């Protein structure tokens, strides 16, 4: 076999292995989605949205308290994390673009994005929960916001960098101060990318369980008091899916299905926004 034929043979072998690996991965993905939709959709009913979680042995429980608690945690975490992330990304892109401190912050942000979320939960527990002496919804919000900030920071930094420098110079030449250039020109040119990054960060924190175990913990009763433990859909799903009771396991599958649909919807929305922009 000459050199050319050997290269063609090796290329075909590698291509075949790649196709097989991709098919195996896709097969497992569809298997997971099928089981999730089959068991989760079968467990859905109106009682899930109307009733709170019930004690073991009592039928008719729902997930109303968990759904509302999860919505509160994600909503307030977004109110806290998105503005901080956007402002931090603006600072890196517009004020310290190529400085050493900006590169250092970018490296730290990348490390935080790749670090396990349970580490952030333990950190918030050490500085927030332990000094106070009890779990609270605010601690859970702080943990989710810390997870969101580096994601939004990096997306904002990258999107603002893509705005042409000539647009900034043109606005400055007309006499606009720097903050007006950023708000009226730079943000307007990068708004689609920033919005997409915010949506993806919301999708990321919506499925987090480990940080909430250290911070907001859980609550089997309906409560909107963020100074106390708050129920969340992810922790409730974890507790119910690992329980020995069939009715709780059914609610756990329903919670997993609802959470997956929510996260899938956010990701599809982000894709549609990007496609519309293009």
Mean pLDDT across the stretch 121-132?
93
Highest mean pLDDT among 140-154, 163-177, 195-209, 253-267: 140-154
Percent of the chain exceeding pLDDT 90 equals: 54
Residue 90 pLDDT > 70, yes or no?
yes
pLDDT value at position 175?
A: 87
Half-sphere exposure for 198 (CA within 13 Å, toward CB): 20
Residue 109 pLDDT > 70, yes or no?
yes
pLDDT value at position 38?
A: 92
Q: What is the DSSP letter of 97?
A: S
Residue of 49, 122, 72, 63 whose CA lies nearest to 225: 72
pLDDT, tens digit, 9 for 90 and up, residues 17-66: 999 999 999 999 999 999 999 999 888 888 899 899 887 767 778 899 99
Percent of the chain exceeding pLDDT 70 equals: 98
Residue 278 pLDDT > 70, yes or no?
no
Cβ atoms 145, 77 nearer than 8 A: yes
Locate 40 and state its tokens.
């989760």
Instruction: Give the three-state DSSP class for 54.
Output: coil
Q: What is the 3-state secondary structure (H, E, C) of 170-183?
A: HHHHCCCCHHHHHH
Residue of 259, 209, 214 whose CA lies nearest to 235: 209
Domain ranges of the chain: 3-42, 49-277
Mean pLDDT across the stretch 108-128?
92
pLDDT grade for 16, boundaries at 50, 70 and 90 = very high
Mean per-residue pLDDT of the chain: 90
pLDDT value at position 233?
A: 93
Cβ atoms 261, 99 nearer than 8 A: no
Residue of 252, 135, 276, 273 whose CA lies nearest to 203: 273
Residues 6+ apart with CB under 8 A from 261: none
pLDDT value at position 277?
A: 64
CA–centroid distance for 167 within its chain: 32
pLDDT, tens digit, 9 for 90 and up, residues 208-235: 999 999 999 898 888 899 999 999 999 9
Residue 75 pLDDT > 80, yes or no?
yes
Cβ atoms 46, 116 nearer than 8 A: no
Locate 137 and state its tokens.
């919804």
pLDDT value at position 258?
A: 93
pLDDT value at position 1?
A: 61
pLDDT grade for 139, boundaries at 50, 70 and 90 = very high
Question: Which parts of 91-223 fold into alpha helices (H)?
Answer: 100-114, 117-124, 130-132, 137-162, 165-173, 178-181, 187-206, 210-214
Would you list the DSSP string of 223-247?
---TTS----HHHHHHHHHTSS-HH
pLDDT grade for 76, boundaries at 50, 70 and 90 = very high
Global model pTM greater than 0.95: no
Mean pLDDT across the stretch 127-136?
93
Annotation: CATH topology of 49-277: MetI-like fold (1.10.3720)
pLDDT value at position 13?
A: 93
């Amino acid at each position: 076999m000459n050199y050319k034929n050997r290269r063609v043979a090796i290329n075909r072998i590698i291509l075949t292995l790649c196709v097989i690996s991709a098919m195996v991965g896709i097969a497992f993905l569809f298997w997971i989605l099928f089981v999730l939709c089959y068991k989760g959709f079968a467990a859905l009913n109106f009682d899930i949205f109307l009733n709170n979680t019930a004690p073991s042995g009592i039928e008719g429980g729902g997930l109303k308290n968990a759904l509302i608690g999860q919505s509160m945690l994600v909503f307030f975490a977004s109110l806290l994390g998105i503005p901080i992330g956007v402002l931090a990304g603006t600072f890196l892109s517009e004020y310290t673009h190529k400085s050493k401190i900006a590169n250092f912050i970018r490296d730290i942000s990348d490390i935080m994005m790749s670090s396990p979320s349970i580490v952030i939960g333990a950190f918030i527990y050490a500085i927030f929960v332990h000094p106070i002496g009890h779990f609270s919804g605010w601690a859970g919000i702080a943990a989710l916001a810390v997870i969101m900030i580096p994601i939004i920071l990096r997306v904002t930094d990258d999107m603002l960098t893509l705005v042409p420098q000539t647009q900034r110079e043109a606005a400055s030449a007309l006499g606009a101060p720097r903050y007006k250039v950023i708000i009226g020109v730079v943000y307007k040119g990068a708004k689609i990318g920033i919005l997409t990054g915010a949506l993806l960060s919301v999708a990321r924190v919506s499925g987090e369980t480990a940080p909430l175990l250290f911070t907001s913990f859980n609550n089997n009763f309906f409560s909107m008091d963020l100074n106390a433990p708050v129920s969340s859909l992810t922790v409730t799903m974890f507790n119910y899916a690992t329980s020995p009771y069939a009715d709780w396991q059914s609610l756990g599958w329903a919670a997993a299905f609802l959470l997956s649909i929510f996260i899938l919807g956010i990701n599809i929305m982000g894709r549609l926004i990007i496609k519309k922009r293009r």
